[in-house]
Amino acid sequence: TLILSMLKNIPVEKIFRTALSSGGEFAELYAERTVSTSILHEDKKLERVNTGIDTGYGLRVLFKDKTAYGFTNDPDKLMEVAAVVGKNIRGGHSGVGALKLQDQRVQRLKVQCSRTQFDEEFEQKADIVKRAASEAWTHNCIKQVQVTWRDMQREIFVVNSRGIEEKDLRIDSVMLVLVIAEKNDLVQTGYEPAGGNVGIEYFLRKTPEKIAKAATERALLMLKARHSPRGAMPVVISSSA
């Protein structure tokens, strides 16, 4: 996986020995890699596409009620971080035994995804956005449509000085459809979000057409809405309210 390539040449045990050299009781190394995609469809075309990769490492050292923390996005600087963080903790006897990493399985949120959306071609994501926009434009009262797609894959790895390690994968995908409708100089908007802790498979079940239709129907319904009543109205006040 991507996260394993980040940790391939990192001397974890040496980093912990350095971090605990001033008497720390416990140390924890954290690594994260996040890949994200965002797509904006507006004015009947793909307006903007952004992709990015963020990586980083964090090191935490504890002694009784004291905590020292340092971070970097350069793995070659981890030993320096360990030395600085370790000096901020003054404890008693220092030391860490030989590490035997134990992969601890913890309960976590189940992601509704049989394969990550990042294994899919970009064209599939763009097609979902285009289909939503096309559906939203079907009514002649619609004057503007904006479809936004955002997804993120976050890989996390944590290992501590007691030899326990944990890995996790978090996936989020969200699509937002914003529709503006106009009739007889009256302008109304409809908005429909969809997604969450899901992969691209969610949008194969709940199709982009359904999401766009919900936003469109909401805007059109607002065009037919009556004005709220005006004038004097009774007000009820209760001490138990």
> What phi and psi values does residue 161 have, to the nearest 5 degrees?
-70, -5
The model's pTM is: 0.74
Print pLDDT tens along the chain (241 aa).
555 566 778 899 999 999 999 888 999 999 999 989 999 999 999 999 998 889 999 999 999 888 999 999 999 999 999 999 998 886 544 444 444 444 444 334 344 444 454 555 688 999 999 999 999 999 999 999 999 999 999 999 999 999 898 889 999 999 999 999 999 999 999 999 999 999 888 998 899 999 999 999 999 999 998 888 888 988 888 877 5
Complete DSSP assignment for 140-194 = TTEEEEEEEEEEEEEEEEEEETTSEEEEEEEEEEEEEEEEEEEETTEEEEEEEEE
| DSSP code string of 27-59 | EEEEEEEEEEEEEEEETTEEEEEEEEEEEEEEE
Task: Find where tokens 């993120």 sit.
Answer: 152
Q: What is the separation of C-alpha 86 from the centre of its chain, rounded to a whole number of angstroms?
A: 31
Contacts of residue 134, defined as CB under 8 A and 6 or more positions apart, other chains included, come to 212
Strand partners of residue 49: 39
